[in-house]
Amino acid sequence: MEKMTALLRIVAHPNSSKETIGLKDGCVHVWVRAAAHEGKANEAICALLAELLHIPKSRITITRGASGKQKRLEVQGMLTEDVFTALFGQQ
């Protein structure tokens, strides 16, 4: 059986006044309160997505851009379209 892995393009917005997500031009924009210092914003992004997807944080991995605003994430055990449906409803 083939492993399911969702691939997401993320734009990070650290130091936000709220924690939320949005969708623009095929990228998931993630606003988190945590500062972009010592990986705190990355941890907050993974935690927020895990909470919204109802999965453990361990299933979310930043594969590219850990130190930048633009990131690539993998979500193990889900298809990309299922992640978008779970986060944003029917598109």
SS3 content of the chain, % helix, strand, coil (to 5): 30, 35, 35
Torsion angle (degrees, nearest 10) of CA 37, 43, 47, 50: 140
Give the right CATH number for 5-88 from 3.40.50.10860, 3.40.50.1820, 3.30.230.70, 3.30.1200.10. Answer: 3.30.1200.10
Per-residue pLDDT tens over the stretch 20-51: 999 999 899 999 999 999 999 999 999 999 99
pLDDT of 91 reads: 55
Q: Sheet with 27-31: list strands edge to edge.
A: 20-24, 27-31, 5-13, 70-76, 60-64
Give percent above pLDDT 90 in the chain: 93
Query: Is the per-residue pLDDT at 15 higher than 90?
Result: yes
